Amino acid sequence: MRTKSVFIELGTVLTGSVLFALSLAFFLTPCGIVTGGATGIAVTAHELLGLPVGLGILIVNAPLVLLNIKFEGVKGMTRTVIGIAATSVFTDLLAFFPPASAEPMLSAICGGAMMGAGAGIMLMRGYTTGGSDLAAYLIRHRVRRIPVGTLILMIDAVIILGAALLKWRFDGILYSVAATIAYSFSIDAVMNGMGRAKLSLIISDRYAEIGDAITQKISRGATVLRGIGWYTGVNKNVVMCVMKRSELFALQKLVKEIDPEAFMIITDAAEVIGSGFSKKELE
């Protein structure tokens, strides 16, 4: 079982990071398309200074990782470090591939979609590529009123606009927006099954610790349901929470650390309407 798990982890990192790297080699870097985050800064530095993109990703992420260790600890940042290192290394190793297209809009859409697929595959096992995510979580520790998603969007917008100003090419903003939309759609398709969220029911005597951890570490709400074990007749508390597919690995890890004997039920939620999910209203 342990060997199988190691192969799954290796396969996830390799597949995700190679797709991420090829999106840059085939589409984004040749056309100078900036997607935001550390990658966007690295692509801009490559175009202006000739710095290898993978090395640029590593340089931008290094201080963000060190600062986040203060809040998450070394163990909490392990998968982030692995994800950043893998994408950085493969980005430079596979940079020799020739461009797949010289058409900027086509490159933006295809490159964004391929990068999103790679990032999504890694996120399914808790690996991240750093960049805006790390910066947003750092800011969130200071400014809790702004959602993480909004912070990431703001950071990416600043990077895209900054790149356009440095290169004095404002038509590139259109391609950056197209790449970012394709990236977001692709990563959501991989992570959330085209929008499906996950409903988790956790039965544990340490329900209070689990509920607190979900709120504090994953920034999701939790509801405690009162139940009775039918066979034993013992009162049981059930923690119910709904979250995105990308957060599921963090939940499973968190619950296992608090109570290895906890009983978990995880199922699809076809649609979730409310804070943090869809804002759709009934007509």
Task: Output the six-digit token pair for 168.
Answer: 């004095």
Residue 268 is predicted with a pLDDT of: 78
Residue 278 is predicted with a pLDDT of: 57
Mean pLDDT for 83-91 is: 92
User: Coil, helix or strand for 126?
Assistant: coil
Mean pLDDT for 210-216 is: 90
Backbone CA torsion sign across 65, 68, 74, 75: negative
Residue 183 is predicted with a pLDDT of: 86
pLDDT digits (tens, 9 = 90+) for 53-63: 999 999 999 98
Q: What is the percent of the chain where pLDDT is above 90? A: 27
Mean pLDDT for 223-240 is: 88
Mean pLDDT for 126-130 is: 81
Residue 106 is predicted with a pLDDT of: 92
Structure pTM?
Answer: 0.70
**């190793």: which residue's tokens?**
93
For residue 221, the tally of other CB atoms under 10 A from its CB is: 15
Q: Higher model confidence: residue 149 or residue 155?
A: 155
Residue 280 is predicted with a pLDDT of: 52
Residue 270 — very low, low, confident or very high, per pLDDT cuts 50/70/90? low
- For residue 91, pLDDT over 90 is answered with yes
DSSP string, 178-203: HHHHHHHHHHHHHHHTTT-EEEEEEE
- The DSSP element (H or E) to which 268 belongs, if any, is strand 263-269
pLDDT digits (tens, 9 = 90+) for 13-40: 999 999 999 999 999 999 888 888 888 8
Mean pLDDT of the residues in the chain:
83
Nearest residue to 64 (alpha-carbon basis) of 118, 126, 12, 141: 141
DSSP string, 209-226: HHHHHHHHHS----EEEE
In the chain, domain spans: 2-192, 197-269
CATH class of the domain whose range is 197-269: alpha beta
Check: CB of residue 191 under 8 Å from CB of residue 246.
yes
